[in-house]
Structure 1
Amino acid sequence: MQSILIVDDLESIHEMLDAVIQPIGYNTAFATDGEIALQKIREEHYDIVLTDINMKPMDGLALLAQIREADPNAIVIMMSGYANIDNATQALKLGAFDFLTKPFKVDQLMNSIARASTEGKKRRQSGEAAAAQNSILLSGDSEANKSFIERLNRAAKLPTPLLINGDSGTQKANIAALVHAKSDRADEAFVAIDAKKAEPGELAGLLFDSEGAPSETILSAQGGFIFFANIDSVPNELQAALGTLIRDLKGDTRVICSSSRDLEKLVEAGKFEDGLYFRIANNALQVPALRDRPEDIPALALAYFAQNRLPFNALGEGASALMQGYRWPGNYTEFQEVLSAAAEVAEGQTIREGDLPEKLRDISSWPNLDSYLAEQADRYKKSVLKACQGDTEKAAKILGIDAADL
């Protein structure tokens, strides 16, 4: 359900507008001045802000300018009891969607809100479609990428919690955003909490209020998505409570989690709460590492150039060969940094071997064949063991090895 923040210093206006707006299917919130409104907007996204101009200490025009910085996606409708052409012109120049002169008729208000709602949906859909289309992660025709896109599209349609696994640098937050964009809740909120970036006390405050109930941050995702990035970094003392919170959100708010570490192994080591793990791990999406889809590198590079409006249209043969042979320990993040560095020194429209950083050109530092094959074999063993849900006998039979070697 879309939300409207009503900003007016007269509470009687709040009551009047609420009586008109709530029945047509909007959540409403209220503020009596611009400063209170701005604080609310910084804490929570509102699809539409309906604000008076004549308020103190911060008037509606000053608030409008601040909203453009705090939440560029909010659509603002201005109201004024004075038919002032200068105010209306200035409001529209500052980015207001519409300007209503009090007293206005109910059908005028309804028409303005309906048009604002339609415009908001267009902006979100346009932005999300552009994000999905321009995501370099989905570029390329390899079987690994095709399979991943198919699984991504399927995961986006499921209502259950989703766990996104992937090595460091596989940009799991971008994948979570793509799941949101491709879901049937694309018009609803997408709220992200990164457990790795928050101190334990700060993280607890983001999850729960002083009485242990879901926080305002969690409640702001109602009907949409909540993304718990780096859930493997949640402190042990918060894990059980987070599992209960996710259970209570089931069906009402879609939950996505991400991890760069193997949660199953953390559970076995007693470092991750098993109840939380089983709550989130039934629907999992593995992001392929860049080394597992080297044939996509030319397409990924072209997508990066286009996304960043760089004047390059090809990788030279030598550069392409080096990039496809490199192991990419930093995955897509490192890949973009390499292309950015190469673009700084390259001439013409082609990235050539000599434009690449030394670490790619110095192939003497690459691992020998035995080391590389051993690493790949170990990775495959882990994949098969995980698919067998930890059953070493079953995994060993599939792999044709002794269970003791797992």
Structure 2
Amino acid sequence: MQSILIVDDLESIHEMLDAVIQPIGYNTAFATDGEIALQKIRDEHYDIVLTDINMKPMDGLSLLAQIKEADPNAIVIMMSGYANVENATQALKLGAFDYLTKPFKVDQLMLSINRASKERKRRLESGNTAAAQNSILLSGDSDLAKSFDERLSRSAKLPTPLLINGDPGTQKSNVAAVVHARSEQSGEPFVTIDAKKSEASELPELLFDGAGGPSEMIRSAKGGTLYIAGIDAISHEHQAPLGNLIRDLKGETRFICSSTRDLEQLVEAGEFEDALYFRIANNALQVPSLRDRPDDIAALALAYYAQNHLPFTSIGEGALALLQGYRWPGNYTEFQEVLAAAAEVGEGQVIREADLPDKLRDISSWPNLNDYLAEQSDRYKQAVLKACQGDSGKAAQILGLDEGDL
């Protein structure tokens, strides 16, 4: 049974809300001001907090800020006897789930609580799903899978910022979650800012407060990990201040960043701040693409089915050949979508060739051998050049090429 903490300085409000909420299946607890509420939250767990704004000595907005700092996933519904647009806007910016103006109707309250309850369940389930996807991504016995797992564990043990690189669909957010789980910060907050999914106008508020210091969201990760997905989407003007924040919060918050684009090339093109790049890139982790792991395909597929409690325990020979032969432009994300679709039409315990979509049989997207070798050659050249820290003469010597051929 979910629990709700009701925070209001009027005991009559407690009695009224209790009479409405308890009969529909929630445990209730009460506090008459923000300070008492915080102490109760420290002592016990509550799924939802329903709090008034106008209280003394600590008002509802201050309580909300401290709750979200302690638990960014907390569900808080705000109540106010005044239709104050500024208060409502501030509450939502601080992370309130909903805002109700008194006097509200019982059905309005019930709707808000039901939505909050569903969101609480969704967040718990998404956390479990993320853990499942994390373990799926790391399945397999190939040398590449083992070396990646080892490099991930080494990166997790370092307190320095981490840069995760990988093609689209390589589930870098899940990799970041695994790094956090294996780090000394495990058990502490893991907070995510997705720069690519955020509006450009919203990003500065997600990163900075009004004085240029860390935002409320960044402060909520104190002691834990702040993950910035798609750091290459942050505008150039905000990159240097972000680098300064990462420097100032060293030892207080672990920063993990990810990018699908080569940040070093962006630095050379003047599109990414070099100071920020060198601050986050000393500890880097490359997520292997699925097309480079054909030997792990069967293990990855069976891990997916096991984690999702589906009955399939083997992959037929024809189906495995198709899965291994496809280039997977969408990587692990596309792979899991294909597996889910196959499960819907599959019967018994074996995934058959007929269960897989036709696109896996389309070979028109494969490059000819010369184009493929040229692509691999360019990748290798760039890797050697990076290992030589941009020294083209040294790289050319290793590669056995003229410097002008790089």
Q: Conserved in 1, the CA contact under 8 Å of 2:134 and 2:177?
A: no
Matched, 1:68 2:92: no
Q: Conserved in 2, the CA contact under 8 Å of 1:132 and 1:178?
A: no
2:179 equivalent in structure 1: 179
Distance 1:253 1:368, change over 3 A: same
Which consecutive unaligned segments of at least 5 residues does structure 2 have?
Answer: 12-30, 44-48, 82-101
1:375 equivalent in structure 2: 375
The code of the aligned residue for 1:68 comes to S
Q: Give how far 1:290 is off.
A: 1.0
Q: TM-score under structure 2 normalisation?
A: 0.74
- Give the 3-state SS of the residue equivalent to 2:201 in structure 1: helix
Distance 1:355 1:21, change over 3 A: closer
2:206 equivalent in structure 1: 206
Q: Give how far 1:293 is off.
A: 1.4
Q: Give how far 1:177 is off.
A: 0.9
Identity over aligned pairs, percent: 63
How many equivalent residue pairs? 347
Distance 1:129 1:333, change over 3 A: closer
Q: Conserved in 2, the CA contact under 8 Å of 1:164 and 1:284?
A: yes
Q: Find the aligned partners of 1:373 and 1:168 in 2 and give their Cα distance.
A: 22
Which consecutive unaligned segments of at least 5 residues does structure 1 have?
Answer: 75-122
- Give the 3-state SS of the residue equivalent to 2:202 in structure 1: helix
Q: Give how far 1:128 is off.
A: 6.9
Q: Find the aligned partners of 1:320 and 1:257 in 2 and give their Cα distance.
A: 34
CA RMSD of aligned residues (A): 3.9
Q: Deviations over 1:294-349 (max 9, x none)?
A: 10000001011112222222221122122212222211112112222322333332
Matched, 1:236 2:236: yes
Q: Deviations over 1:172-230 (max 9, x none)?
A: 01111111111121111111111111222200111112332221111111111111100
Q: TM-score under structure 1 normalisation?
A: 0.74
1:107 equivalent in structure 2: none
Q: Give how far 1:353 is off.
A: 2.3
Q: Find the aligned partners of 2:326 and 2:72 in 1 and give their Cα distance.
A: 46
Matched, 1:151 2:200: no
- Give the 3-state SS of the residue equivalent to 1:265 in structure 2: helix
The code of the aligned residue for 2:64 comes to K
Q: Find the aligned partners of 2:288 and 2:162 in 1 and give their Cα distance.
A: 16
Q: Deviations over 1:51-87 (max 9, x none)?
A: 9xxx98689x97976653454599xxxxxxxxxxxxx
2:64 equivalent in structure 1: 40
The code of the aligned residue for 2:286 comes to Q
Distance 1:303 1:241, change over 3 A: same
Please say which of residues 297-306 and 315-324 is displaced more in the overlay. Answer: 315-324
1:81 equivalent in structure 2: none
Distance 1:6 1:179, change over 3 A: farther
- Give the 3-state SS of the residue equivalent to 1:200 in structure 2: coil
Q: Find the aligned partners of 1:228 and 1:130 in 2 and give their Cα distance.
A: 17
- Give the 3-state SS of the residue equivalent to 2:178 in structure 1: helix
Q: Conserved in 2, the CA contact under 8 Å of 1:14 and 1:30?
A: no
Distance 1:341 1:133, change over 3 A: closer
Distance 1:215 1:316, change over 3 A: same
